[in-house]
Amino acid sequence: MLRRVVLALLALTVLVLLADLAGGPTGPIRSAGSAALGPLLRAASPGEVEAESAELIRLRARVAELEGQAQTAKRESALVASAAEHDLEVAPARVVGVGTPDPRGTVRLTIDVGAEDGIQADRAVLDGDGLVGRVVSVGRWTSDVELLGAAGTSVGVRVGQSPGVLGRLSASDPLLDQAPGQLAVTALQEGRITAGDAVRTLGSAGGVPYPAGLPVGSVAEVADAPGRLTASATVEPSADLAAVDVVGVVVSDGQR
Amino acid sequence: MSRRRVWLWRAALALLAVVLSSVLGARGVPVPSSLLLVVVLAVGLAAGPLPGALLGLAGGWLVDLTPPGTDLLGISALTHAGAGWVSGRATRVSGWPLWWPAAVAAAGWAVVAVVPVLRALTTGAPLDLVGLLVDLVLTASVALVAVPAVIAVDRRLSGRRPR
């Protein structure tokens, strides 16, 4: 009996996996998971420090909490300044869950804002240092964010001094010798890319998902590939993607 | 009744492991990438390949669905089911040495890690080898401590004689 149940469930799981691989309509399954388990993550995320009987423990906890709040306020200030600089309206959020890290590191996060907070899918997510990723699905209370290093991520960018070389930012390029955490940029036109060049978003139609001019990173090393017509290079992201905490979801582009 | 109670305990433990992995990971606490794996391995060792595979499948679905989820639905369910089955095959009737749970955890970790590693290799993505090694050591260390405790409770609830 148990063997039949396991085999049936395995077959069902393989079917769902194949459907997801083929780009089938698996969104409702993810939405159901988000609706059922998202509130659990929100509830389990750290809140107020409870009063302890021992005064010393209470005070130490208070100091730690205040230090954390100061750090959070600092990050929020940087985020607000960055959003104001690019004339964007952002909804602040905190990371409340991380996906199972794969060999490239963490590529998916959950933040504590959702449809109830006016968040929509396919919006850019940034922190005080630069672009972090984009919202890929929105639950009622939480949203999932795909980080820049995720497989299949592709962002149009400009590299270097204005106007900059047009390029395509991706998670990896087989011709590059990338360190973990680094991204890859491939120029789409002839032009010179040098180490240290700033990489900024090219901008999408209507600013969705990516508004123009957001800092993405800087060129770390340019590949020495004589056979290629256009240059490619490794990119060090501006945001520390391994330690994202306070982020902002772009809810409106001020230019519209 | 007893069987229902045992499965309720296993499901609750799996849910706790999945939520803890996600929440602690978000706060930067060094935990294995899959605390669920430790629970699945313990149940596999305690009850055999089929219960291990079933809990791995169900718990893996929780990983796939708990926000932010996995980029491929069902991938954690299948790999954790495989790890649960492997751990069930590693059961020894005459008991096992103290290090056995760590060895089984390493094997289960390899089963869970092989698919993402192959996906990364085929797409040319850089592998965080140090991160993988740290995760393996963390998983084996947690298993060394937690697996015997989970097995003891599981066997007590299911009325099986402890070895």
- Give the model confidence (pLDDT) of B104-131 as tens digits: 999 999 998 888 888 878 776 777 888 8
Best B15, B43, B50, B65 residue to mutate vs chain A (most A CBs within 10 Å): B65
Q: Do B21 and A36 touch (CB under 8 A)?
A: no
Residues A161 and A185 in one domain: yes
Residue B73 sits at φ, ψ, to 5 deg, of -65, 130
Q: What is the pLDDT of residue B143?
A: 92
pLDDT-derived band at A118, boundaries 50, 70, 90: confident
More confident residue, B28 or A2: A2
Least reliable range by pLDDT among A15-24, A153-162, A245-254: A245-254
Parts of chain B with a pLDDT under 50: none
Which residue in A77, A73, A152 sits closest to A108, CA to CA? A152
Which residue in A27, A167, A17, A183 sits closest to A105, CA to CA? A183
Q: What is the pLDDT of residue B4?
A: 84
Going along chain B from its start, the domains and CATH numbers come out as 2-158 (1.10.1760)
Query: How large is the ipTM?
Result: 0.83
Using a CB-CB cut-off of 8 Å, the residues of chain A touching B125 are 103-104, 151, 171-172, 178
Residues A137 and A160 in one domain: no
CATH number at residue A130: 2.40.10.340
Using a CB-CB cut-off of 8 Å, the residues of chain B touching A38 are 67
Q: How far is A223 from chain B (nearest CA, A)?
A: 15
Q: Dihedral through CA A44, CA A46, CA A78, CA A124, nearest 10?
A: 0
CA distances (Å), origin A113, targets A85, A120, A142, A147, B55? 23, 10, 5, 16, 31
Residues A124 and A247 in one domain: yes
Q: For the segment A212-240, what is each residue's pLDDT rounded down to a tens digit?
A: 888 889 999 888 766 667 788 999 998 88
> Partners of A92 in the beta sheet?
A248
Q: Do A110 and B124 touch (CB under 8 A)?
A: no
Cα separation, B120 vs B114, whole angstroms: 10
The answer to whether position A49 is within a domain reads no
Q: Do A174 and B21 touch (CB under 8 A)?
A: no
Which residue in A148, A147, A129, A221 sits closest to A179, CA to CA? A221
Q: What is the mean pLDDT of residues A23-51?
A: 74
Cα separation, A212 vs A228, whole angstroms: 28
Q: What is the pLDDT of residue A48?
A: 44
Residues A60 and A140 in one domain: yes
Q: What is the pLDDT of residue B110?
A: 92
DSSP string, A4-57: HHHHHHHHHHHHHHHHHHTT-S-HHHHHHHHHHHHHHHHHHS--SPPPPSSHHH
pLDDT-derived band at A192, boundaries 50, 70, 90: confident
Residues A185 and A246 in one domain: no
How many A-B residue pairs are in contact by the CB < 8 A criterion?
162
Using a CB-CB cut-off of 8 Å, the residues of chain A touching B109 are none
Least reliable range by pLDDT among A14-23, A63-72, B148-157: A63-72
B136 contact A CB<8A: no
Q: Do A17 and B72 touch (CB under 8 A)?
A: yes
Q: What is the pLDDT of residue A104?
A: 60
Using a CB-CB cut-off of 8 Å, the residues of chain B touching A16 are 73-74
Residues A128 and A245 in one domain: yes
CATH number at residue A165: 2.40.10.350
Which residue in A230, A214, A211, A212 sits closest to A222, CA to CA? A230
Least reliable range by pLDDT among A77-86, A115-124, A182-191: A77-86
Domain coverage including residue A219: 154-237
Q: What is the pLDDT of residue A58?
A: 54
Using the predicted structure, report yes or no on whether residue A252 has a pLDDT greater than 80. Answer: no
B68 contact A CB<8A: yes
The answer to whether position A22 is within a domain reads no
Residues A144 and A206 in one domain: no
Using the predicted structure, report yes or no on whether residue A46 has a pLDDT greater than 70. Answer: no
Using the predicted structure, report yes or no on whether residue A95 has a pLDDT greater than 70. Answer: yes
Residues A63 and A142 in one domain: yes
Q: What is the pLDDT of residue A38?
A: 81
B79 contact A CB<8A: no
Using a CB-CB cut-off of 8 Å, the residues of chain A touching B75 are 17
The answer to whether position A39 is within a domain reads no
Residues A199 and A88 in one domain: no
Put simply, the chain B residues between 87 and 126 with a CB less than 8 A from any chain A CB are 113, 116-117, 119-120, 123-126
Q: For the segment A133-176, what is each residue's pLDDT rounded down to a tens digit?
A: 999 888 888 898 988 878 777 888 988 887 788 888 888 887 77
Cα separation, A184 vs A207, whole angstroms: 22
Q: What angle do CA B17, B19, B24 make, to 5 degrees?
A: 95
Q: What is the pLDDT of residue A240?
A: 85
Residues A60 and A177 in one domain: no
Tokens representing A2 are 């148990």
Cα separation, A217 vs A156, whole angstroms: 13
Residues near B26 by Cβ (< 8 Å), separated by ≥ 6?
A45, A95, A96, A97, A98, A109, A110
Q: What is the mean pLDDT of chain A?
A: 80
Beta-strand relationship, A124-126 and A88-98:
unpaired
Q: What angle do CA A50, A54, A55 make, to 5 degrees?
A: 85
Q: How far is CA A141 from the centre of its chain?
A: 18
Using a CB-CB cut-off of 8 Å, the residues of chain B touching A246 are none
How many residues are given for chain B? 163
The answer to whether position A41 is within a domain reads no
How many residues are given for chain A? 256
> Domain count of chain A?
2
